[in-house]
Amino acid sequence: MIFLTNNLTSLRSKLLFTVLTVCSSFQLYAQAGSFMELSGQYADYNAHLAQTSSDSSSSVATSLEPGVCQSSQCRSTRQNLIDVSKLAYPDQCTAKNNYLNVMLIQSPQIIKDLSLAQPTQSIVKPACTNAAMNQKLLSNARYASKCYNAPSNVGRPCVNPTYHQLMHNSFDLVAKCLKGFLEEDNYEATIEEMLGKFSIESNFHINAVSHSGFAGIGQIGREAITDVNDKSKKGNLESLKSYLNSHSEPSCQKLTQVLKKPLSEKPNFSATCERTSADNNSPLSNLLYSFSYRKIQRSYLDNYLSNKTLLERFGIKSKEEADSSPSFKYLISKLNTWSYNPGVGGLIYSVRSAVLAQPPGYFKSKESVDILLKSIFTRMSGSVSYKDCDSQREINRKENACYLYRVTEKQKDLRQVAGVEKCVNI
């Protein structure tokens, strides 16, 4: 009897040690160099989770998964902190599709931290990123589960609080840190658009891969990576690292750790794991490259549309005047989002012909620019109605033309599913 009791005590101690080790990872943010300041509530949650673990062996068994607590008391505490009662996690996580959590154990510390931090003081609403991750699967999507040591036919990782927090916190952190880098006129609208854009590109999933080999949350490929690595480009990797190093927020400075080694410029399918694996700092690296690529494309658009003949259609006489024109900046922002799919080169001919079809001074208002965008769409697609883009068959045929419309509609969808008026508050 004494022998049995000692064995049980030893087993209980080992289980408790395992749980406390897992729970201690929740406290990483309270240490020096943390990414997010946590409230006293969060510390209370850690203590409560540890207490729950020591009180019940069943709690020990169900709390071993990082970032997820299963006991009713633990769930209640967690709901008070991140209000998960309003978020849906409909996936059934199994040993087969929960491969992301397994990989997180081996991932760099920055990735572990972001998967465990509760979304406090977010500029992006967690309900919106949750809606993005739980939307209907993309018809042509593949998921690089092999990069997580899982069978190739498993599909995407199951969406649980840990996975959601990783994707949400990563996007939110990059969005916060790069505001000054992107220098957008209406940054709140920019992040709303990028939320919609990444939802279309990958359903906000870390390891989505297209039939062409574009990979990760931002579906980046060789061309975008080459541009970002090119030191001659405005918005290149070196300028991004310099910006982050001089940032006033330590959490933003630490993002340079992710960029120590540039992403390779290999052909798409030969670099899938580098662009999608949490072990290689994804989704942070993928997001940072995607945001930088936006700045590079904006530079292309600024240079092209600074043509005197084109500026006259906006009633603008100089580049300096263009920089302060609301209608011109609105056009640049929309074209910047649109160009993410076809590239700037895929837009230029249609943009030029649509602008020059109108007399000087015609595009002086946001409403006139919306008419211009519709004209560009028609020239690219041959269609007169955006509704043609609602058909999957038409999307496949007119993917480049429909892209901006689809991003706009996706933003509306996410707000509706999340039950919010807007997804970003800056």
pTM (2 d.p.)? 0.81
CA distance 380 to 310: 19
Q: Which residues of 199-226 are buried (b: 16+ CB within 10 A; e: fewer)?
A: bbbbbbbbbbbbeebbbbbbbbbbebbe
Contact 84, 385 (CB under 8 A): no
Predicted confidence (pLDDT) per residue in 14-73, tens digit: 333 333 333 333 333 333 234 443 333 333 333 332 333 333 222 222 222 333 334 443
The strand pairing partners of 54, in sequence order, are: none
Q: What is the pLDDT of residue 140?
A: 67
Place of tokens 């109108």: 358
Residue among 368, 392, 235, 350 at smallest CA distance from 298: 235
DSSP code of 136? P
pLDDT in the model for residue 207: 95
pLDDT for 138 equals 66
Q: How far apart are CA 279 and CA 39, in angstroms?
A: 29
Environment class of 17 (CB within 10 Å of its CB; exposed 0-12, middle 13-18, buried 19+): exposed
3-state secondary structure of 317: coil
> At which residue do the structure tokens 């410029």 appear?
265
- Low-confidence spans in the chain with pLDDT less than 70: 1-86, 138-140
Torsion, CA 154, CA 156, CA 161, CA 163, rounded to 10: 110
Confidence at residue 383, expressed as pLDDT on a 0 to 100 scale: 86
